[in-house]
């Protein structure tokens, strides 16, 4: 027997919990599956200082804990678990949680986020949250007046390097090829910035540091094989994100990178009754505040859908 759920929310970042707060206050009795990383990406950032309403900053973990409490207070059923299968070809929608629990949902809000790509080095993993970060806007401020490095050559890496150049003493941009992928205007800005030092044709072999944080990086030039060590306090990854949309790909329209396509100005996907919000449908902004805003829209869109559906069933 399937469990019948009116409003199913998948994902527990700021988008998912904001959708849950709105949906529960609208009596949609939402059930929220937290996914593999409860709290989402924010729980991996040290301090959030750019979310309005927190003049003294707040830790990512604390903010997500508070959002969760707020959603629970209004009646959201928050569950630790993962949606492992979906079938959006029939209505109500059929989903499977944790590979065995069958669900029938009247509306689904996808808020599964995107995960920052990392290089996959053991040393990088060890120092995550201790000087290794994939969010320059979140963590850059902690490196005021210090030397840092950004890995990547796209728009995000150049934007991050420019952002950090206003805060830090020196910014190394570690690029694996001899050219940047970033747009020409971003390239020009980077080339003209005296604080940014581009290290072409370099791969990171190891991030150096200890319990107290990052102290440097060992690089290998992929043309000359030459190794160099740079002394840095912060190590930023900007090598792209991967949206967590794989499980929906048979049914939901996505772009080439896997970002869910929503109808402009709304959270509607190509399937009526399935909505998407947060980073899984937003490759440009990817901020907690924009995710929260889109979560609110998704809950309101879901409520309208249910109302319209009810009135068409009753007429
Ligand atoms: P991109 O995929 O555009 O760039 C990723 C960069 O990381 C590339 O330079 C790539 O190198 C490099 N890279 C990937 N894997 C590795 C690795 N293992 N080791 C070293 N380097 C690696 O991602 P972005 O996040 O920069 O941008 C994503 C999208 O968002 C783009 O369409 C971009 O234009 C857009 N964007 C727009 C902005 C704006 O308009 N203001 C701001 C930020 C992003 P290589 O080039 O060799 O493949």
For residue 107, whether the previous peptide bond is cis, meaning omega lies within 30 degrees of 0, is no
Pick the closest to residue 233 from 138, 130, 126 (CA basis).
130
Between the CA of 116 and the centroid of ligand 1 the distance, in Å, is 11
Question: Which helix (H) or strand (E) is 292 found in, with range?
Answer: helix 288-314
pLDDT tens for the chain, residues 1 to 315: 899 999 999 999 999 999 999 999 999 999 999 998 888 878 766 678 889 999 999 988 899 999 999 999 999 999 999 999 999 999 999 999 999 999 999 999 999 999 889 999 999 999 998 999 998 988 999 999 999 999 999 988 999 999 999 999 999 999 999 999 999 999 999 999 999 999 999 999 999 999 899 999 999 999 999 999 999 999 999 998 899 999 999 999 999 999 999 999 999 999 999 999 999 999 889 889 999 999 999 999 999 999 999 877 666
Q: Find out whether the beta carbon of 197 lies less than 6 Å from any atom of ligand 1.
A: no
* 3-state secondary structure (DSSP) of residue 116: strand
Pick the closest to residue 283 from 262, 305, 252 (CA basis).
262
Whole-number pLDDT of residue 46: 63
Please state the pTM of the whole predicted model: 0.79
Q: Find out whether the beta carbon of 156 lies less than 6 Å from any atom of ligand 1.
A: yes
Q: Which residue's CA is minimally distant from atom 18 of ligand 1?
A: 119
Whole-number pLDDT of residue 49: 80
- Where exactly does CATH 3.50.50.60 map onto the chain? 3-115+241-314, 118-237
Between the CA of 30 and the centroid of ligand 1 the distance, in Å, is 36
DSSP letter at 213 equals: E
Q: How many Å apart are CA 303 and CA 6, to the nearest integer?
A: 10
Q: Find out whether the beta carbon of 239 lies less than 6 Å from any atom of ligand 1.
A: yes
Q: What architecture is domain 118-237? A: 3-Layer(bba) Sandwich (3.50)
Quick one: how far is CA 256 from the chain centroid?
Answer: 17
Pocket test for ligand 1, best of 239, 256, 279 (most atoms within 8 A of CB): 239
| Total residue count of the chain as it appears in this document | 315
Pick the closest to residue 289 from 10, 13, 9, 8 (CA basis).
13
Between the CA of 244 and the centroid of ligand 1 the distance, in Å, is 17
Question: Which helix (H) or strand (E) is 197 found in, with range?
Answer: strand 196-199
Q: Find out whether the beta carbon of 119 lies less than 6 Å from any atom of ligand 1.
A: yes
In this structure, whether the domain defined by 3-115+241-314 belongs to CATH 3.40.50.300 is answered with no
């Amino acid at each position: 027997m399937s469990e019948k759920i009116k409003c199913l929310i998948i994902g527990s970042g700021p988008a998912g919990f904001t959708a849950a707060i709105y949906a529960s206050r609208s009596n949609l009795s939402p059930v929220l599956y937290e996914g593999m990383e409860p709290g989402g990406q924010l729980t991996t950032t040290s301090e959030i200082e750019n979310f309005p309403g927190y003049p003294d900053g707040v830790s990512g973990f604390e903010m997500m804990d508070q959002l969760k409490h707020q959603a629970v207070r209004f009646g959201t059923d928050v569950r630790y678990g993962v949606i492992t299968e979906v079938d959006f070809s029939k209505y109500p929608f059929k989903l499977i949680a944790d590979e065995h629990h069958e669900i029938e949902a009247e509306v689904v809000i996808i808020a599964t986020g995107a995960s920052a790509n990392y290089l996959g080095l053991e040393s990088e993993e060890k120092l995550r949250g201790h000087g290794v970060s994939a969010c320059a806007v979140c963590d850059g401020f902690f490196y005021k007046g210090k030397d840092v490095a950004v890995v990547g050559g796209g728009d995000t890496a150049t934007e991050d390097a420019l952002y950090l150049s206003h805060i830090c003493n020196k910014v190394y941009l570690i690029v694996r090829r001899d050219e940047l992928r970033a747009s020409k205007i971003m390239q020009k800005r980077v080339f003209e910035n005296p604080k940014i030092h581009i290290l072409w044709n370099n791969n990171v072999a190891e991030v150096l540091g200890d319990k107290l944080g990052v102290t440097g990086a060992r690089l290998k030039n992929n043309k000359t094989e030459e190794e160099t060590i740079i002394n840095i306090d912060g190590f930023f990854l900007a090598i792209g994100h991967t949206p967590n949309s794989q499980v929906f790909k048979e049914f939901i329209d996505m772009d080439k990178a896997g970002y869910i396509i929503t109808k402009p100005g709304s959270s509607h996907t190509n399937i009526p009754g399935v909505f998407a919000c947060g980073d899984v449908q937003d490759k440009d902004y990817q901020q907690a505040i924009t995710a929260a805003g889109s979560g609110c829209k998704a809950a309101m869109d879901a409520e309208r859908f249910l109302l319209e559906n009810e009135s068409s069933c009753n007429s």
